[in-house]
Amino acid sequence: MQEMTPYQLLGGEGVVRWLAERFYDIMDKEPEVKALRDMHPADLAGSRQKLFMFLSGWLGGPALYMEAFGHPRLRMRHMPFAVNDVARDQWMRCMRQAVDELVVEDWLKEKLLKAFYNTADFMRNC
C-alpha cells in the first residue's frame, strides 16, 4: 500500500491553493511582517499563483511549477533579496498561521512546519 502524500492528506488542489492564498493574505495584512511584504511586488497575484504551483509539486501533487517554469531553483531565485533570519522568521510566521488555521492533525502540522522551516532556512543568503 502506497503512503499518501501531504498533498493528498491536505485534501488536494483546492486546499493547497487556499494555503497559498492564506499565506499571502496574512503577509499582506500583518504589520509585524512588513519587511517580508516589502520584498514582494505591490500586486501579489503572480506571487500567489507561483506559490500555489510550487506547493502543489513540493507537497507531492502535480508538478505545476516545474511544468511551467522548470526546476524551482529556490535559492537562486531568492538571491536578489536579502533573506536573513528576520525574513525567514517572518515567512515562517505567515506560513505557521496559515497551517494552524488549516491543519487539524498535530502530526501533520508538525511534519509540514518542519519541512517549511528547513526550506525557509535554506533560503538565507545573508
Question: Residue 58 has what pLDDT?
Answer: 98
- Whole-model pTM: value is 0.94
Asked whether the beta carbons of 117 and 92 are under 8 A apart, the reply is: yes
Which among 32, 18, 19 is positioned nearest to 112, based on CA atoms?
19
Q: What are phi and psi of 38, to 5 degrees?
A: -65, -15
**CA–CA separation, 14 and 77 (whole Å):** 26
Asked whether the beta carbons of 64 and 53 are under 8 A apart, the reply is: yes
Tell me the CATH number of domain 9-123, given options 2.60.40.10, 1.10.490.10, 3.40.50.150, 3.40.50.800.
1.10.490.10
Parts of the chain with a pLDDT under 70: none
Question: Residue 1 has what pLDDT?
Answer: 77
Which are the contacts of 88, defined by CB distance < 8 A and separation ≥ 6? 120, 121, 123, 124
The structural domains of the chain, with segments of one domain joined by +, span 9-123
